[in-house]
């Protein structure tokens, strides 16, 4: 009887304990479904629009969903890289170059053609490379259109008149203009065809670079190194494609600005200098005329044998060219090749070590390509200034 009473007492104890657990679980479930009034704090059942205590409007809160754990086995990419560039973009760049050439802006037209040549590197290879040939033919046409420079005639000083030397009774020599006669060197025009100095060319290049930048920004292009690319497609480029663009449009030499030449310091870029004969004055040399007995009869002027009567000769240092080879780029017109990447502009990604995967996902530093820009040249393949 005692054993049975003990078992009965255990059953009576287990029943309230089970009821308590069920009540707690029911309270937790109903508590999660209750809506608390923002005005009075009263707990209302979910689904009711107004509070049963203060009749205030209840705000239904949405249950927070637990996000699923991302699948790290799938390589995800936030960007969609393009395999090749549309050839219409290159054709549009070449059309803009032709418009600039028709307007007489040769330097801007050449920059647009070089940019089209760089963009052509991202297109699909075509049979026979007709696009590349068309761009190269256009660049040759631009090179044939040279700018003519007119300068004052050194003989007449820009007046176009013919002068003669006359000596007065006191022995002073004067230059007098000959009426009805014009300068034989400039044919009376006062100017002759001259050579543009490197300093003047640099000024024109700087002005053309500003016009080119404004033109490309107006066409909604963004600069990638020295190349200009459509703004709406810039995010679709991979790291390798950006490096290709930068290497295809290298930075010009900062000293000569891509001209490959520098002004001669001896002649200041003119290509000529004064006659080296100390007796020569404006191309004439005074000579004495002697008689039969050796006495001096008169003096007359003769043409200088060194300058041929011009008063000027070709510069001995530049041989009349007015320019010498640029010492910084050795005549290449471009910056030196980067020694760290050997001109490729790329290096192995430091995070993923070239695998393209970093911490189980696509490497965000190289975008899965396994390469990055060279830290020394920033992907241009050329040394910095």
Query: For the residues of 285-331, what is the DSSP string, one character each?
Result: EEEEEE-TTS-EEEEEEEE-TTTTTSSEEE-TTTTT-SEEE-TTTTT
CA–CA gap between residue 380 and residue 252 (Å, rounded): 11
Give me the pLDDT at residue 351, please.
84
Question: Taking phi first (over 0 means left), then psi (-120 to 50 degrees means alpha), and beta for anything else, what does residue 120 get?
Answer: alpha
Average pLDDT over residues 196-208: 88
**Tokens 């910095």 belong to which residue?**
384
- Residue 77 vs residue 109, higher pLDDT: 109
Give me the pLDDT at residue 295, please.
59
- Phi, psi (deg, nearest 5) at residue 109: -65, -40
For the chain, the structural domain boundaries read: 2-45, 336-385
Cβ 379 vs Cβ 373: under 8 Å? yes
Note the pLDDT tens digit of each residue in 161-174: 887 766 666 656 67
- Residue 182 vs residue 116, higher pLDDT: 116
CA–CA gap between residue 294 and residue 317 (Å, rounded): 43
- Is the Cα dihedral 236, 239, 240, 244 positive or negative? positive
**pLDDT bracket for residue 369 (50, 70, 90):** confident
Note the pLDDT tens digit of each residue in 327-343: 888 888 888 899 999 98
| Verdict on whether the full-model pTM lies above 0.75 | no
Question: Which candidate, 72, 35, 75, places its Cα nearest to that of 57?
Answer: 35
Count of H-run helices and E-run strands, the chain: 6, 18
**pLDDT bracket for residue 100 (50, 70, 90):** very high
**pLDDT bracket for residue 34 (50, 70, 90):** low
CA–CA gap between residue 197 and residue 322 (Å, rounded): 7
Mean pLDDT of the chain: 78
Which tokens in the block code for residue 320? Answer: 């009349």
CA–CA gap between residue 29 and residue 350 (Å, rounded): 52
**pLDDT bracket for residue 127 (50, 70, 90):** low
CA–CA gap between residue 356 and residue 361 (Å, rounded): 9
**pLDDT bracket for residue 294 (50, 70, 90):** low
Percent of the chain with pLDDT over 70: 75
Task: Tell me if residue 347 falls in helix, strand or coil.
Answer: strand
Average pLDDT over residues 187-201: 82
């Amino acid at each position: 009887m005692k054993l049975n009473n003990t078992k009965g007492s255990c059953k009576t104890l287990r029943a309230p304990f089970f009821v308590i657990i069920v009540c707690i679980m029911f309270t937790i479930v109903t508590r999660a479904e209750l809506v608390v009034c923002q005005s009075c704090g009263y707990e209302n059942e979910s689904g009711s629009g107004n509070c049963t205590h203060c009749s205030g409007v209840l705000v239904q809160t949405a249950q927070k969903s637990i996000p699923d754990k991302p699948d790290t086995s799938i390589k995800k990419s936030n960007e969609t890289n393009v395999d090749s560039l549309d050839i219409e973009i290159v054709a549009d760049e070449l059309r803009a170059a032709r418009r600039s050439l028709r307007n007489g802006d040769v330097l801007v037209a050449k920059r647009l053609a070089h940019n089209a040549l760089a963009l052509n590197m991202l297109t699909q290879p075509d049979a026979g490379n007709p696009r590349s040939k068309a761009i190269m033919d256009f660049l040759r046409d631009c090179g044939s259109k040279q700018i003519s420079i007119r300068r004052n005639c050194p003989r007449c000083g820009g007046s176009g008149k013919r002068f003669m030397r006359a000596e007065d009774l006191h022995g002073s020599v004067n230059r007098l203009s000959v009426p009805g006669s014009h300068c034989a060197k400039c044919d009376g025009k006062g100017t002759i065809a001259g050579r543009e100095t490197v300093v003047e060319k640099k000024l024109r290049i700087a002005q053309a670079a500003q016009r080119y930048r404004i033109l490309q920004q107006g066409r909604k292009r963004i600069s990638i190194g020295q190349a200009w690319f459509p703004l709406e497609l810039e995010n679709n480029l991979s790291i390798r494609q950006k490096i290709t663009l930068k290497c295809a449009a290298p930075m010009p030499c900062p000293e000569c600005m891509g001209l490959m030449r520098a002004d001669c310091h001896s002649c200041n870029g003119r290509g000529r200098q004064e006659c080296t004969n100390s007796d020569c004055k404006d191309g004439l040399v005074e000579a004495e005329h002697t008689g039969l007995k050796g006495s001096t009869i008169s003096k007359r002027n003769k043409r200088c044998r060194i300058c041929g009567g011009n008063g000027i000769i070709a510069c001995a240092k530049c041989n009349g060219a007015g320019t010498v080879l640029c010492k910084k780029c050795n005549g290449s017109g471009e910056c030196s090749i980067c020694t760290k990447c050997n001109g490729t502009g790329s290096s192995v990604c430091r995070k993923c070590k070239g695998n393209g995967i970093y911490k189980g996902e696509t490497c965000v530093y190289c975008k899965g390509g396994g390469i990055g820009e060279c830290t020394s040249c920033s992907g241009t393949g050329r040394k910095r200034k």
